[in-house]
Structure 1
Amino acid sequence: MFDTVLVANRGEIALRVIRTLRRLGVRSVAVYSDADAGARHVRAADAAVRLPGGYLDAEGVVAAAKATGALAVHPGYGFLAENTAFARRCQQEGLVFVGPPPEAVEAMGDKIRAKETVAAAGVPVVPGGAEPADDLAEAARRVGFPVLVKPSAGGGGKGMLVARSPEELPEAVESARRTAQAAFGDATLLIERYVADPRHIEIQVLADAHGNVVHLGERECSLQRRHQKIIEEAPSPLVDDAMRSRMGADAVRAARAVGYVGAGTVEFIVSGDQPGHPAFFIEMNTRLQVEHPVTEMVTGLDLVELQLRVAAGERLPLTQDDVRMDGHAVEARVYAEDPSRDFLPTGGRVLSLAEPEGEPGVRVDSGIQEGTVVGSDYDPMLSKVIAWGPDRGTALRRLDAALRATTVLGVTTNIAFLRALLADPGVVAGDLGTGLIERRLGALLDGAYGPGGLPADVVSAAALILQDRLAGTAGDDPWDVPDGWRLGEPAWTTWPLSARDETAEVRVRGLPRRAASVAVDGATPASARLAGGPDALTGRGDALVTLDGLTSRFACAVSGGTVWLGRDGRTWAVTPHEPGDRGDRAGAGRAGDGVVRSPMPGTVLLVKVVVGERVTEGQPLLIVEAMKMEHTVTAPSDGLVAELPVRAGQPVDMDAVLAVVHDEAGESPAEPAPEGGTGAATVTGGS
């Protein structure tokens, strides 16, 4: 075993690898970019080296390994894990690359070559065509629409688009090619027959340098949005022993076909409604997978340790007959994204964080901490919550409880959506498919966020916290205390509040920590009291809000005038605004507004219009890219492009103004709505 290993990654996977290294008594070396100087993985490692060029600086990683005496480099997943040039560079410098041989990475990293290789070994593949041998339009006609357009060098669902007709194909090809070049440095594309709503099932394989190859059973990854997984489980509720044996044998053949060494995953799409459930090879990921913890929890094996031992030249310590699957495990990926806005990436600073600890059967792989800044430079995944149980039902219930105990304030996440998804009848029954989320999206969003309107206790809590902070700024003069005092009865302080494109008017009378009344949207006033709340120094804490004798507990944080509240996995960012400002932030201009805003923090990838150009409603204006995902921003109405304050390559914040479109008459649009967050309140009555 190596005495020092450099971990060439960040976040939760870097911490995951460091954890195993520490257990094995191996010294760990972390690397970091300037943005990650205070990150958790930096503090967890035995040593850390700054990379001036960031995590993709292969030469910087090699130099760091040499300078710290590392004998091996573990790339985690993503970044350098599937970079053949980096693997060869490590070999040249006498460093062990903890992964498969570069030739195997190369063979399986090219999806076109991979399909040809495994098909020759007898593994079933999806019909399709690929560049440069095939014209994509001709290949699409040959296999029949709908088709799936994919980057040849891709992974993680990036750049994968469905074209349902010949008319949709050119735009899908253009977008996929652009994403492929940006994400993978290779614009080559392939086309496959689109299998509607298949099951996505993958087989974990392990191979050593002595010719031994085993599989560790399957994981089901059918619950996806935008072709990216969000919930995975092992074993699959679809797979029986015979099917597991058949798919496992195909996966082992695929690994042997390229001389594979190390841990890898062979992915299949499987028909859930055809006799025998035929499975077709789609790709092999030549690295550790994000979802590897579910396999570890049902097999009792440490995949990182096995990777290290194989890389050190040892034989696999187990045969196929030794592999046993015990119980069931389910993993949920916590993303910085907003499901209610088409899963667009979000950003911000983590103001407050709570993650489950010590719960039976629960594991959390997390890379964030309070103060972490979530931007558009890296993947939006923040953490993984994994639960094991003796059966699938227990694992699902434990995972839901763990998500309920997870709170991230300051960044919008998908936690509430994950809980709604776990409660979906189809998911509970194991009737899964890659199209389930799309089919059930409306019901899932209702389950996550409610059918509409802001909960009265949430906006009451926000108003009481804001009123309490306002009271805290009063001086010694009793006339400065904003309790609404006047002769006769106290006056009301009105707080117009907004969250998730919903608004409410909350009136508060009295001092929140003594005796107050609250009325929401004109309802009958309720007696109210606030206990706890955000700390004066840190701006975060727990708040107890009592309304007519019923107490609710919230995690809370205040930043820039916005009150963040969290409860049972749900969060609200409640912002006070001036009367008349409805707080609309839909990511594009409204028809009567003309101001077009960025739907997410990211980079302007392409500007498709010029100032003075006449556009029609729905016409693409710009393309914004974040975390390798493109979003087309369209014109809110017919008119003339009056302003284009951004250019291609420019970073933008969420809600940044991207364009202004005048109406057909050429009149100036209405003034952009205020950004909010000023803590403004309207006080009616004297004090």
Structure 2
Amino acid sequence: MKIKRILIANRGEIALRIISTLKKLKIQSIAIFSEADRADRHVCEADEACSLGEGSLEQTWLNIPLIIDIAKQSGADAIHPGYGFLSENATFARACEDAGIIFIGPESHVIEKMGSKLVAAQYAKKAGIPLLPRLEGSPDYLVNNAASLGFPLLVKAAAGGGGKGMIRIDRPEMLKDAVYTASQQAKRYFADEKVYVEKYVENPRHIEVQILADQHGNVIHLLERECTLQRNHQKVVEEAPSVTLNAKVRKALHESAVSLAKTVGYTNAGTVEYIMDENLQFYFLEMNTRIQVEHPVTEMITGVDLVEEQIKVAENKPLGMKQNDIKARGHAIEMRLYAEDPSQNFRPSAGFIKKILFPKTKGLRIDSAIAESGFVHPSFDAMIAKVVFHDKDRKSAIHGIKNTLSQILVHGIKTNLNLLSSIAGSRLYAGNNISTHTISRNLKKWSVPTSDAEKNTLVAALFLWLERYSHLSEGNSWRMAGKEIIKINGLEKNVFYYPKGEKGIVITMDGETFSFENITVNENKITVSWNNFNENVVFNYSQHDALFLTDKNQYHVRLAEVVPVPKLSSNGLPSRIPDLKASLFGKVLRINVVEKQKVRNGDPLMVLESMKMENTILAPGDTIISKLNVKVGDQVSDGQTLIFFEA
């Protein structure tokens, strides 16, 4: 059947990615959107767009009857689920089948089998894929018998993913609490409380194989990807091919993935994931029955449009390529640019991006839903963009992505850009001396912004010139000398300044005086003469706040806020604890206290969910709860008062 109209049951960059292929194939695209993302790019780029209305994720993006009804009303032949949301939901795939709508993915019964890690493991065993020693059963059975496997262990949710319901166990006394906690998390996140325990692999790598299967019995692999660098069990850096594998292990991996696909009767695109120990022994992890976030690295080294192939398979066409046609051409690296603060344990950083700038370079691919500015929603994933670079070999690709990252500017929210740059420039990554723990073990040094005294002086001068003099002519700026307290990457500085003609400024900071002349602004680039040479700086300025990109480093500069000094009691301590305000956008998941309750410093007060991550809010001191200003289920914004404390 020729597909003419496809509804995309997704949003963000993957929706745009699918639309791009649909335009190439001259297939009409139908976008859907909730009222929270009505203004997003995928809505504008699609041929048509239909509203899911307002409400929670369950009422909109996860509302199967509503999406099926919209597909019928809009005349869609097929639905592409993308990744996330309903992409691996067997009930959704079955609803499409029952409605006579093509689901672009495997059949519902295959999704159901692979959706359970326990059932998937049985099929992997039939396919001859090694499994880690594991124990299945009730929580009580696991608590009483899991120690026989030997420590360390890992308890995992049977229906889980993304690190949810996953806890490491190092000692027998940890078993009971870990198993029951994981079971509770599994029930909350996946509506399935089943968990199992398996042997924990020290310093593991994460390798996966991309497969493609048609409805005529043909199955091929499209090589492997290495996804070892992760944070909180979620991928950050992916590359293809893997340079870890030798020829023998690579062949065995590829053959095992194809064997599993044939064993389970798989069709369409899928990924078989493995965990690998330091001896290159691999074990089955899971099978993802959808297109992966990291699919671009495979596309760039093989030249295959995976979305196009998904559609052809859904149209019941045989694969247009054979295994011998798949060759690795060069090396590709993908780094995920997230809206989060790595220095604060990856705390989500939803909010408005005032300006985002990407370079244009040969070999570079940027997959992002944000063009120049836009809002990063707290209800959705934290990913802003996928930065992908392809070159002739790994060394060249690392150099290319490192250079690319040094030219990216994101102004308005916290990101992991500095972390990505640190990874790309590290000897550990260059030498492939990595494991899934590498980021956590090096986080402190990798997440600290670079501080250079000379560059601090430069950006301070440019910021104050933009703030005070850029809009004035020489005739009325001569008397505007002043003093400001500014913050450069969080570091407070006292600066004295006065203008030097119409295009210059003189500042005194840290006891030294510097002169800057011939300041010229051209869109997001600023040129200045100082220290006997000219310097070009990429920047974005918003009232009292700016971001500068110079010498491959980011400098966030803003006017320091004036914080009132709290009144002191007779013992010299603050007389009251400031009311609790949200430091991020999110949803109130749990409240652990009641009004009039006494709390101690560090007590957990509530849990906010933002960008699929739970954030526990702790008491800032010993105090009494006066009033709860929010309830469970409320959406809160950055700066909103959550709890009032008694005076």
Shift in alpha-carbon separation, 1:253–1:513, aligned structure 2, 3 A = farther
Q: State the alpha-carbon separation in 1 of the partners of residues 618 and 428 from structure 2.
A: 35
Residues 284-363 of structure 1: pairs in structure 2 closer than 5 A: 284-357=287-360, 359-363=361-365
What per-residue deviation string (whole Å, max 9, x for no partner) do you get for residues 332-389 of structure 1? Answer: 11111111221111022222222233x2221111111234211211101111111111
Shift in alpha-carbon separation, 1:298–1:371, aligned structure 2, 3 A = closer
Q: State the alpha-carbon separation in 2 of the partners of residues 165 and 635 from structure 1.
A: 31
Shift in alpha-carbon separation, 1:627–1:190, aligned structure 2, 3 A = farther
What per-residue deviation string (whole Å, max 9, x for no partner) do you get for residues 212-264 of structure 1? Answer: 22212210000011111111001111112211111112212222232111111
Shift in alpha-carbon separation, 1:268–1:495, aligned structure 2, 3 A = same
1:462 aligns with 2:463: yes
What per-residue deviation string (whole Å, max 9, x for no partner) do you get for residues 416-457 of structure 1? Answer: 2111101110100112210111121222124x5349998222
Paired AA for residue 442 in structure 1: K
Contact 2:143 2:179 in 1 (8 A): no
The equivalent of 1:556 in structure 2 is 539
Contact 2:240 2:332 in 1 (8 A): yes
Contact 1:334 1:382 in 2 (8 A): yes
1:507 aligns with 2:496: yes
Q: State the alpha-carbon separation in 1 of the partners of residues 172 and 642 from structure 2.
A: 31
Q: How many residues are aligned here?
A: 633
Name the stretch that deviates more: 126-135 or 426-435: 126-135
Residue 118 of structure 2 aligns to a residue whose secondary structure is: helix
Residue 449 of structure 1 aligns to a residue whose secondary structure is: coil
Shift in alpha-carbon separation, 1:566–1:175, aligned structure 2, 3 A = farther
Q: State the alpha-carbon separation in 1 of the partners of residues 548 and 608 from structure 2.
A: 29
The equivalent of 1:382 in structure 2 is 384
Contact 1:613 1:640 in 2 (8 A): yes
Residues 146-225 of structure 1: pairs in structure 2 closer than 5 A: 146-165=152-171, 176-177=182-183, 179-225=185-231
Unaligned runs of 5+ in 2: 54-58, 566-572
Paired AA for residue 268 in structure 1: Y
Contact 1:405 1:568 in 2 (8 A): no
Shift in alpha-carbon separation, 1:229–1:364, aligned structure 2, 3 A = same
Shift of 1:200: 0.5
Q: State the alpha-carbon separation in 1 of the partners of residues 626 and 40 from structure 2.
A: 43
Contact 2:224 2:240 in 1 (8 A): yes
The equivalent of 1:624 in structure 2 is 608
Contact 2:331 2:390 in 1 (8 A): yes
Residue 51 of structure 1 aligns to a residue whose secondary structure is: strand
Paired AA for residue 68 in structure 1: S
Q: State the alpha-carbon separation in 2 of the partners of residues 105 and 121 from structure 1.
A: 17
Alignment counterpart, residue 392 of structure 1, candidates 394, 402, 414: 394
The equivalent of 1:484 in structure 2 is 479
Contact 1:506 1:518 in 2 (8 A): yes
Paired AA for residue 216 in structure 1: L
Shift in alpha-carbon separation, 1:636–1:97, aligned structure 2, 3 A = same
Paired AA for residue 291 in structure 1: E
Shift of 1:571: 3.9
Shift of 1:74: 0.8
Shift in alpha-carbon separation, 1:309–1:632, aligned structure 2, 3 A = same
What per-residue deviation string (whole Å, max 9, x for no partner) do you get for residues 525-550 of structure 1? Answer: 434553227xxxxxx73333444444
Shift in alpha-carbon separation, 1:151–1:58, aligned structure 2, 3 A = same
Contact 1:545 1:553 in 2 (8 A): yes
Contact 1:293 1:386 in 2 (8 A): yes
Q: State the alpha-carbon separation in 2 of the partners of residues 285 and 508 from structure 1.
A: 58
Residue 397 of structure 1 aligns to a residue whose secondary structure is: helix
Residue 524 of structure 1 aligns to a residue whose secondary structure is: strand
Contact 2:356 2:373 in 1 (8 A): no
Shift in alpha-carbon separation, 1:90–1:639, aligned structure 2, 3 A = same
1:228 aligns with 2:234: yes
Q: State the alpha-carbon separation in 1 of the partners of residues 544 and 575 from structure 2.
A: 28
Shift in alpha-carbon separation, 1:144–1:615, aligned structure 2, 3 A = farther
Shift in alpha-carbon separation, 1:314–1:373, aligned structure 2, 3 A = same
Shift in alpha-carbon separation, 1:361–1:636, aligned structure 2, 3 A = same
Residues 20-35 of structure 1: pairs in structure 2 closer than 5 A: 20-35=21-36
Paired AA for residue 312 in structure 2: R
Residues 380-529 of structure 1: pairs in structure 2 closer than 5 A: 380-446=382-448, 448-450=449-451, 455-468=456-469, 472=472, 481=476, 483-484=478-479, 492-510=481-499, 513-528=502-517
Shift in alpha-carbon separation, 1:566–1:239, aligned structure 2, 3 A = same
Shift in alpha-carbon separation, 1:544–1:412, aligned structure 2, 3 A = farther
TM-score normalised to structure 1 length = 0.85
Paired AA for residue 322 in structure 2: T
Shift of 1:146: 3.4
Paired AA for residue 147 in structure 2: R
Residue 455 of structure 1 aligns to a residue whose secondary structure is: helix
Q: State the alpha-carbon separation in 2 of the partners of residues 175 and 134 from structure 1.
A: 13
Q: State the alpha-carbon separation in 1 of the partners of residues 22 and 398 from structure 2.
A: 30
Shift in alpha-carbon separation, 1:571–1:581, aligned structure 2, 3 A = farther
TM-score normalised to structure 2 length = 0.90
Paired AA for residue 542 in structure 1: K
Contact 2:590 2:607 in 1 (8 A): yes
Shift of 1:610: 3.0
The equivalent of 1:283 in structure 2 is 286
Shift in alpha-carbon separation, 1:71–1:630, aligned structure 2, 3 A = same
Paired AA for residue 585 in structure 2: P
Name the stretch that deviates more: 308-317 or 592-601: 592-601
Shift of 1:91: 0.8
Alignment counterpart, residue 112 of structure 2, candidates 82, 106, 113: 106
The equivalent of 1:530 in structure 2 is 519
Residues 114-125 of structure 1: pairs in structure 2 closer than 5 A: 114-125=120-131
Paired AA for residue 495 in structure 1: E
Shift in alpha-carbon separation, 1:500–1:192, aligned structure 2, 3 A = farther
Name the stretch that deviates more: 226-235 or 360-369: 360-369
Name the stretch that deviates more: 611-620 or 279-288: 611-620
Shift in alpha-carbon separation, 1:210–1:319, aligned structure 2, 3 A = same
Shift of 1:88: 0.8
Alignment counterpart, residue 576 of structure 1, candidates 541, 559, 577: 559
Shift in alpha-carbon separation, 1:640–1:556, aligned structure 2, 3 A = same
The equivalent of 1:237 in structure 2 is 243
Paired AA for residue 28 in structure 2: R
Contact 2:18 2:307 in 1 (8 A): yes
Same amino acid, percent of matched pairs: 36
The equivalent of 2:17 in structure 1 is 16
Shift in alpha-carbon separation, 1:186–1:560, aligned structure 2, 3 A = farther
Contact 1:34 1:54 in 2 (8 A): no
Shift in alpha-carbon separation, 1:570–1:218, aligned structure 2, 3 A = same
Shift in alpha-carbon separation, 1:562–1:21, aligned structure 2, 3 A = same
Paired AA for residue 645 in structure 1: N
- What is the aligned-residue RMSD (CA, Å)? 3.0
Shift of 1:175: 5.9
What per-residue deviation string (whole Å, max 9, x for no partner) do you get for residues 445-503 of structure 1? Answer: 24x5349998222233222221136x65x9x9x7xx56436xxxxxx411111254321
Name the stretch that deviates more: 43-52 or 336-345: 43-52
Alignment counterpart, residue 78 of structure 2, candidates 69, 72, 76: 72
Shift in alpha-carbon separation, 1:573–1:288, aligned structure 2, 3 A = same
The equivalent of 2:570 in structure 1 is none
